[in-house]
Structure 1
Amino acid sequence: MRSEQEMLDMLVKFAMNDERIRLVTLEGSRTNFNIPPDSFQDYDISYFVTDMDSFRESDQWLHVFGNRLMMQKPEDMELFPSELGSWFSYIILFEDGNKLDLTLIPMNEVEDYFTNSDGLVEVLLDKDALIQEEVIANDRQYWIKKPTAREFDDCCNEFWMVSTYIVKGLARKEILFAIDHLNEIARPNLLRMMAWKIGSEQGYTFSVGKNYKFINQYLPNEDWESLLSTYSENGYREMWQSLLTCYALFRTYAKAVASSLKYEYPDYDEAITRYTENIYNSLN
């Protein structure tokens, strides 16, 4: 596998030798000093170019970066509509294991790019000295944020209301419906509440990572094991247990957040728990 230095040198050298490319930036985890580096991190690169069409005419110019196992061009797909506007991206997995997410951006969108940046940006090449102020990458945008009273209440409301859909799905023997609501809505709100509790205890000056991937570093082992157990979804018995474990964890963490921030914890927890137990008992 080519090293990080080899990859970046190659990507910058290509840009230096192509007059159409005026500015090059690196984004994402490789700019974030709070994330331990590893070989699986993508190379998130943006080329700011003067002529988008000339690049899009053919993919031949991409061969210089190495042999590909697979490439995806999200903005050239019909099933999944483009979300990047006039930008165009290439997601490439190379034979040596490196992965490149390369985005072409028109030069007239440089200002918008930096204005809307998430902060994790490093300038690798600036041929025209367009960037007057030093750009220092930071992950502040992803730090745990202290919830307002309304946000706290909304999180509780969403968790407990959606849990009734999971109960309905399990009662109807529609397990995929139940799994989807647990995975896509209920558990993400549990994780959000857990992150808020961590923030209330340790401050709102750090991130628990994308998809909460570092949250285990801040949870008691018992709670971490309980959280992992909620991913057991390969049958109705397992799903009921996962749901009830989510209930217990959410209740514990939400009450702790409410106590810390002087917010009111909703009383419908008791009602929904009783509703769930009644249906569960009627089926067993």
Structure 2
Amino acid sequence: MRSEQEMKNLLISFAKNDNRIRLVTLEGSRANKNIPRDSLQDYDISYFVTDMDSFKKNDEWLNVFGKRLIMQKPEDMELFPPELGHWFSYLMLFEDGNRIDLTLIPINEVDDYFSNSDGLVEVLLDKGGLVKNKVVANDRKYWIKKPTAREFDDCCNEFWWVSTYVVKGLARKEILFTIDHLNEIVRPNLLRMMSWQIGLERGFTFSVGKNYKFIEQYLPKDDWETLLTTYSESSGIRSIE
């Protein structure tokens, strides 16, 4: 498997040698110093380009990044409508296990990109001094947010109100209906409340990760074990651990 440095060198080298690419940024977990590195992290890369159509007319230029096992082009799909406006992305999984999520962005959208950024951005290459201000990646936008009294009340109310749908679904043996309400509404509000408890105890100055994936690090062991028992997959999760 190619190393992080090898992948970055490849992505930057390609951009340096293509005059259509004027700016390269890295986003996501690999730009977040608070997340431990591992080989499963994607490379979320944006190329700011002067000519979108010349890239989009065929995919041969992507071969330089390696042999692809599978690729998805979300903005070229019918079943799942595109959401990125004029941007165009290539989600690629390679033979060696590396994954690149590469997005092409028109050069005239640089300012909009940075003004709407979530903060997890690292500039890898800037050919023409397009970035006027110093960019320092941070995950502040994802820190646990201290709730207002109204938000706390709303969370409790939503949890208990929708829990009645779960009971109703079980009584009717409508299992998929039940699971949907449990997983999409009840459980997220439980996790939201648990994250608020963590924030009250430790401060609201950090993130518990996307989909609460790091919450185990901050919960008492008994609470974590109890949380796992609410998942039907808990036995399988424990066997993996």
Deviation digits for residues 98-134 of structure 1 (CA, Å, limit 9, x no counterpart): 0000000001110000000000000000000111221
1:96 corresponds in structure 2 to 96
Runs of 4 or more off by more than 3 Å in structure 1? none
1:12 corresponds in structure 2 to 12
In structure 2, distance between residues paired with 1:233 and 1:155: 25
1:192 corresponds in structure 2 to 192
Structure 1: segments with no counterpart, 5+ residues: 235-284
Q: Secondary structure at the match of 2:224?
A: helix
The TM-score with structure 1 as length reference comes to: 0.81
Establish whether residue 229 from structure 1 lines up as the match of residue 217 from structure 2.
no
In structure 1, distance between residues paired with 2:130 and 2:176: 52
Q: Secondary structure at the match of 1:124?
A: strand
Q: Which amino acid aligns with 2:171?
A: A
Q: Which amino acid aligns with 1:197?
A: Q
Asked if the contact 1:179–1:233 (Cα under 8 Å) also holds between the matched residues in 2, the reply is: no
Deviation digits for residues 229-278 of structure 1 (CA, Å, limit 9, x no counterpart): 111279xxxxxxxxxxxxxxxxxxxxxxxxxxxxxxxxxxxxxxxxxxxx
Considering fraction of residues, name the structure with more helix: 1
1:209 corresponds in structure 2 to 209
From the superposition, tell whether residues 161 and 43 of structure 1 become closer, same or farther in structure 2 (CA, over 3 Å): same
Q: Which amino acid aligns with 2:104?
A: L
Q: Secondary structure at the match of 2:128?
A: coil
Aligned positions, number: 234
Q: Secondary structure at the match of 1:147?
A: coil
Structure 2: segments with no counterpart, 5+ residues: 235-241
Question: RMSD of the alignment, in Å?
Answer: 1.0
Q: How does 1:123-162 map to 2 (within 5 A)?
A: 123-162=123-162
1:31 corresponds in structure 2 to 31
2:53 corresponds in structure 1 to 53
The TM-score with structure 2 as length reference comes to: 0.96
Q: Secondary structure at the match of 1:205?
A: coil
Asked if the contact 1:70–1:93 (Cα under 8 Å) also holds between the matched residues in 2, the reply is: yes
In structure 2, distance between residues paired with 1:157 and 1:52: 48
Q: How high is the sequence identity, in percent, across the aligned residues?
A: 79
Query: Whose radius of gyration is greater, 1 or 2?
Result: 1
Q: Secondary structure at the match of 1:97?
A: coil
1:183 corresponds in structure 2 to 183
Q: Secondary structure at the match of 1:46?
A: strand
Measure how far apart 1:149 and its partner are: 1.0
In structure 2, distance between residues paired with 1:62 and 1:3: 19
Deviation digits for residues 161-180 of structure 1 (CA, Å, limit 9, x no counterpart): 11011111000000111011
In structure 1, distance between residues paired with 2:27 and 2:233: 36
Deviation digits for residues 46-86 of structure 1 (CA, Å, limit 9, x no counterpart): 00001111110000100010000100000111000101011
1:170 corresponds in structure 2 to 170
In structure 1, distance between residues paired with 2:175 and 2:55: 47
In structure 2, distance between residues paired with 1:82 and 1:130: 27
Q: Which amino acid aligns with 1:79?
A: L
1:107 corresponds in structure 2 to 107
